[in-house]
A and B are shown apart, each in its own frame.
Chain A
Amino acid sequence: MAKKLLLEKAHVEGIRYFDVYRREGGYASVEKALKMEPAAIVEEVKKSGLRGRGGAGFPSGMKWSFLAKPEGVPRYLVCNADESEPGTFKDRYLMEFIPHLLIEGLIVSSFALGSNRTYIYIRGEYAWIVAILEQAIAEAKQNGFLGKNILGTGFDCEIYVQRGAGAYICGEETALIESLEGKRGNPRIKPPFPAVKGLWDCPTVVNNVETLAAVVPIINMGGEEYAKIGVGRSTGTKLISACGNINKPGVYEIDMTISVEEFIYSDEYCGGIPNGKRLKACIPGGSSVPILPANLLLTTAKGETRYMNYESLADGGFTTGSMMGSGGFIVLDEDQCVVKHTLTLARFYRHESCGQCSPCREGTGWMEKILMKLENGKGEMSDIDLLWDIQRKIEGNTICPLGDAAAWPVAAAIRHFRDEFEWHVNNPEVCTTQNYGLAHYADPIHVPA
Chain B
Amino acid sequence: MAEVKTVKVTIDNITVEVPQGTSILQAARMIGGDVVPPAMCYYSKLEGSGGKCRTCLVEVSKGSEADPRPMPKLVASCRTGVMDGMEVRNITSDRVKDARNGVVEFLLLNHPLDCPICDQAGECHLQDLGYEHGKEATRYEFKRRTFEKHDLGPYIQLHMTRCILCYRCVYTADQLTEKRVHGVLSRGDYAEIATYIEKSLDNNFIGNVIDVCPVGALTDKTFRFKNRVWFTKPVTAHRDCSSCCGKVTLWQRGEEVLRVTARKDQWGEVEEWICNVCRFDKKKTSDWTIEGPSHVSRHSVISQGHYEHLVQPKETFTAVHDGRHPQLLMDIHSVSEVNDKTAKTKS
Contacts and interface: CB of A to CB of B under 8 A. Distances in A.
A397 B103 contact: yes
A170 to B, nearest CB: 11
B188 A352 contact: yes
Contacts of A353: 187-189
A359 B145 CA distance: 16
A398 B189 contact: no
Contacts of B183: 184
A352 B79 CA distance: 25
Contact of B189 (A355, A357, A392, A393): A355
Interface stretch (B50-58, B285-293, B296-304): B50-58
14 contacts: A184-B183, A355-B188, A357-B53, A358-B165, A359-B103, A361-B191, A362-B110, A365-B189, A366-B140, A393-B102, A393-B105, A397-B54, A397-B102, A399-B52
Contact of A397 (B50, B74, B186): B74
Given A189-B51, A362-B109, A393-B106, A355 B99 contact: no
Contacts of A358: 52-54, 103, 106-107, 164-165
Contacts of A167: 187
Given A189-B76, A396-B73, A357 B51 contact: yes
Interface in B96-123: 98-99, 101-103, 105-107, 109-110
A361 B167 CA distance: 14
Contacts of B74: 396-397
A319 interface: no
A355 B73 contact: no
A424 interface: no
B142 interface: yes
Given A357-B51, A399-B51, A399-B52, A362 B106 contact: yes
Nearest to B109: A362
Q: Helix, strand, loop or mixed for chain A's interface?
A: helix
Interface of B: 50-54, 57, 73-74, 76, 79, 98-99, 101-103, 105-107, 109-110, 139-140, 142, 145, 164-165, 167, 183-184, 186-191
Given A189-B51, A358-B53, A184 B79 contact: no
A355 B184 contact: yes
Nearest to B57: A397
Shortest 8 CB-CB contacts between residues of A and residues of B: A393-B102, A355-B191, A353-B188, A362-B106, A189-B51, A365-B189, A362-B109, A355-B188
Contacts of A366: 106, 109, 140, 142
A157 to B, nearest CB: 32
A184 B182 CA distance: 13
A364 B103 contact: no
B187 A169 contact: yes
Nearest to B167: A356
B293 to A, nearest CB: 36
A355 B165 contact: yes
A163 interface: no
A350 interface: yes
Given A358-B107, A393-B101, 12 more contacts: A353-B187, A353-B188, A355-B186, A357-B51, A358-B53, A359-B102, A359-B103, A362-B189, A366-B106, A369-B142, A393-B103, A399-B52
Interface of A: 167, 169, 184, 189, 350-359, 361-366, 369, 386, 392-394, 396-399
A352 B102 CA distance: 21
B54 A364 contact: no
A366 B144 CA distance: 10
Nearest to B80: A191
Given A393-B102, A393-B106, A397-B102, A365 B52 contact: no
Nearest to B72: A396
Contact of A189 (B57, B79, B145, B191): B79
Contacts of A397: 54, 57, 73-74, 99, 102-103
Contacts of B99: 393, 397
B184 A184 contact: yes
Contact of B188 (A184, A365, A369, A386): A365
A398 B75 CA distance: 9
A351 B187 CA distance: 8
Contacts of A359: 54, 102-103, 106
A291 B159 CA distance: 41
A352 B191 CA distance: 11
A116 to B, nearest CB: 28
Given A184-B183, A189-B51, A189-B79, A356 B102 contact: no
Contacts of A357: 51-54
B54 to A, nearest CB: 5
Contacts of B189: 350, 353, 355, 361-362, 364-365
A177 to B, nearest CB: 15
**By CB atoms of chain B within 10 A, which of A351, A358, A398, A399 has the most?**
A358
Contacts of B76: 189, 399
Contact of A398 (B54, B98, B164, B188): B54
B139 to A, nearest CB: 6
A416 to B, nearest CB: 24
Nearest to B139: A386
A324 to B, nearest CB: 20
Given A189-B79, A393-B99, A361 B188 contact: yes
Contacts of A386: 139
Contacts of B186: 355
Contacts of B109: 362, 366
Nearest to A393: B102
A356 B139 contact: no
Nearest to B40: A358
A169 B187 CA distance: 10
Nearest to B76: A189
Contacts of A361: 106, 165, 188-189, 191
A182 to B, nearest CB: 12
B214 to A, nearest CB: 12
Contacts of B145: 365
A355 B140 contact: no
Nearest to B104: A358
A362 B79 CA distance: 22
Contacts of A189: 50-51, 76, 79
A185 to B, nearest CB: 8
Contacts of B165: 355-356, 358, 361
Contacts of B191: 354-355, 361
A429 to B, nearest CB: 22
A356 B51 CA distance: 9
Contacts of A396: 73-74
A362 B106 CA distance: 6
Nearest to B50: A189
Contact of B106 (A351, A352, A363, A369): A363
Given A366-B140, A386-B139, A393-B99, A355 B187 contact: yes
